[in-house]
Amino acid sequence: MYQIENKDYGYKLTFSDFIKAAEMENWVAESEKVLENAPGDFGVFVDMRMLKPLPKDSQEQMQTGQKLYKKKGMVRSVVIVDNSITKLQFKRIAQQTGIYEWERYIDSSSEQDWERVGIEWIANGVDPDK
């Protein structure tokens, strides 16, 4: 399952459960429509705490979506995870798509104030890694 929400800092994306490639393709198509009216610069808050590891074909669609958001004006993104497998998988995807420089990862199991810390990064550039 996925959800796209408009927020004052940009967009909040929520991914959960097991997502097959067809559903990920739907996310990319819906994102294209949503991003037609995107502001020039925006942040993306990605909640993946309930997402199961993605199969390879779903990962490819995720990469397409990440590139789309970057092309449309994403300046920073934060990914909230709750396990090391998902964190490593998406860190690798971000490195492959070239957005790693603008993306930070927060493990909700070790950072109690993960939502505030994430929003501070995407809205104000306060780096959670420093």
Number of domains in the chain: 1
**Is 55 within the bounds of a domain?**
yes
Which one-letter amino acid corresponds to residue 52? Answer: K
Q: What is the CATH number of the domain that holds 68?
A: 3.30.750.24
**Is 129 within the bounds of a domain?**
no
Q: What is the pLDDT along the chain (130 residues), one digit of tens a residue?
A: 999 999 999 999 999 999 999 999 999 999 999 999 999 999 999 999 999 888 999 989 998 998 999 999 999 999 999 977 777 877 787 788 777 889 998 989 888 899 999 999 999 999 988 8
**Is 130 within the bounds of a domain?**
no
**Is 102 within the bounds of a domain?**
yes
**Is 31 within the bounds of a domain?**
yes
23 contacts: CB under 8 Å, gap ≥ 6 = 1, 2, 58
Q: State the burial class of residue 78 (Cβ atoms within 10 Å of its Cβ: 0-12, 13-18, 19+).
A: buried
Q: Which domain holds residue 43?
A: 2-124
